[in-house]
Chain A
């Protein structure tokens, strides 16, 4: 429990079988994520990043191998693991605050305590005054902020994020990555963050897991030692981030990583 390891992925493989063919999505994945660590999973489409995330979340049973969260074997979704998707997935019939409180209702937690917490989170995400709005009245970036608040409201220790900013425009996306970094600074969670964006991966990560496709494998793990908070502006001392971005480019576009 307290060995400092939040997630351990132990020789996990995943094969999807359809009637015509079988797809080897993940091959013998080994990964340990420390408590409070921010890990990004980067790779080309079809390298099994999202599949790995769904297995860690307990939404998909692995074909082989096992996943442990805080030492306990994952065979079903856990309440201390929270998920965020590419789309905000806000329930359109609920107001912003009621969307944030959905996990509280489902997990039957204390409503009053968590309402205060939800309001706090919304304020932290810059959504003060929007509690009563309906999701369709918000921009895509604001919807995704609400989704982040919802993912944090029941105080999970692990946050799994599947390309959460990929559907947003480039500027909003950058703004939200910086904000996620800030919120992560205040509510230290273990985060596994799937992305296609090299910039996002380097900006946010303690470690970057580079995956290669068909079958999905871990090609390389890069440590990012740049101090936080990191930024993208002129004041950023970005040599370390630049070096890692360049290395990521090399890795992702290298011949041996491409699908053949």
Chain B
């Protein structure tokens, strides 16, 4: 198997250079897009002479962010904690349900249609009910996040558990592995790339769920800030809250992308 390969001098540097260029481009290009969009927004506010209480310019929003820099972090924290708690709870609840669906034909045919029916309910419509049942604390917000995140996590995990490559199944079966060994050593790890698809969908929805929960009745959180600033026509503050929400979503999403690279480095690689 040993092969003598002569590598032309400078190849490694060139390859490394190309990889670094690729990494830079993957950060630079999206940044440029965002900068261009903000520029367009700014230009539009000047060209069309929009009133700041209708559409504030990026500068107005920035000034508002700076002015409220002591008040806003508490609201960011509230929304972030609700999103993460709900997301975590959805994982803890969703994965066992997915396992049950993947392993039992009976449970699949009983739970699955019920889940689809439940998911068809517009979750926003039950937000006021959650407030009636659970009050104005973080309870209804976390519940809303769970309700929204649960479905994509269950679907993707169950799909992953049911798509174990046939050879893997034959391999462990031929070793007379117990069902638990099959699950732990092969089926669950093989499902991880699918699980991450669901998690990435869910984390984007998690923040939306928290904000919807806050819209209906809250005393803190970025959703509350948006509602409150709407009531006294402080559009700049509403925009500032939206910017923070977007940033939060993006950061949470990329945190998951990094976790995926670490935990599932083989995903996307040419298998076999």
- Chain A residues within CB distance 8 Å of chain B: 54, 57-59, 76-79, 81-83, 85, 87-93, 102-103, 105-107, 126-127, 134-136, 140, 142-143, 167
**Chain A residues whose CB sits within 8 angstroms of the CB of B266 once the complex forms:** 92-93, 134-136
Q: How far is the CA of A58 from the CA of B175 in the complex (A)?
A: 10
Flag if A77 contacts B175 (CB, 8 Å): yes
**Chain B residues whose CB sits within 8 angstroms of the CB of A142 once the complex forms:** 1
Flag if A102 contacts B185 (CB, 8 Å): yes
Closest CB in chain A relative to B260 CB, distance in Å: 13
Flag if B270 contacts A136 (CB, 8 Å): yes
**Chain A residues whose CB sits within 8 angstroms of the CB of B265 once the complex forms:** 93, 134
Interface size on B, residues (CB 8 A): 26
Closest CB in chain A relative to B98 CB, distance in Å: 19
Flag if A91 contacts B272 (CB, 8 Å): no
- Chain B residues within CB distance 8 Å of chain A: 1-2, 165, 167-168, 170-177, 181, 185-186, 189-190, 192, 264-266, 269-272
Nearest 8 CB-CB pairings of A with B = A92-B266, A89-B167, A126-B1, A136-B269, A83-B174, A106-B175, A106-B177, A77-B176
Q: How far is the CA of A69 from the CA of B118 in the complex (A)?
A: 52
What residue of chain B has the Cβ atom nearest to residue A134's Cβ?
B266
Flag if B174 contacts A57 (CB, 8 Å): yes
Q: How far is the CA of A81 from the CA of B172 in the complex (A)?
A: 12
16 contacts between A and B (CB under 8 A): A59-B173, A77-B176, A78-B176, A79-B176, A83-B174, A89-B165, A89-B167, A90-B272, A91-B189, A93-B189, A93-B192, A93-B265, A102-B175, A105-B185, A106-B175, A106-B176
Flag if B185 contacts A143 (CB, 8 Å): no
Q: How far is the CA of A234 from the CA of B33 in the complex (A)?
A: 65
How many interface contacts (CB-CB < 8 Å) are there between A and B? Answer: 73
Instruction: Knowing A77-B175, A134-B265 are in contact, say whether A92-B168 is a contact too (CB < 8 A).
Output: no
Closest CB in chain B relative to A19 CB, distance in Å: 17
Q: How far is the CA of A102 from the CA of B175 in the complex (A)?
A: 9
Q: How far is the CA of A143 from the CA of B269 in the complex (A)?
A: 14
Q: How far is the CA of A102 from the CA of B171 in the complex (A)?
A: 10
**Chain B residues whose CB sits within 8 angstroms of the CB of A107 once the complex forms:** 175-176
**Chain B residues whose CB sits within 8 angstroms of the CB of A126 once the complex forms:** 1-2
What residue of chain A has the Cβ atom nearest to residue B265's Cβ?
A134
Instruction: Knowing A103-B175, A143-B272 are in contact, say whether A89-B168 is a contact too (CB < 8 A).
Output: yes
Q: How far is the CA of A216 from the CA of B270 in the complex (A)?
A: 35
Flag if A85 contacts B1 (CB, 8 Å): no
Flag if A85 contacts B170 (CB, 8 Å): yes
Flag if B272 contacts A87 (CB, 8 Å): yes
Q: How far is the CA of A184 from the CA of B2 in the complex (A)?
A: 22
Flag if B272 contacts A79 (CB, 8 Å): no
Closest CB in chain B relative to A88 CB, distance in Å: 6
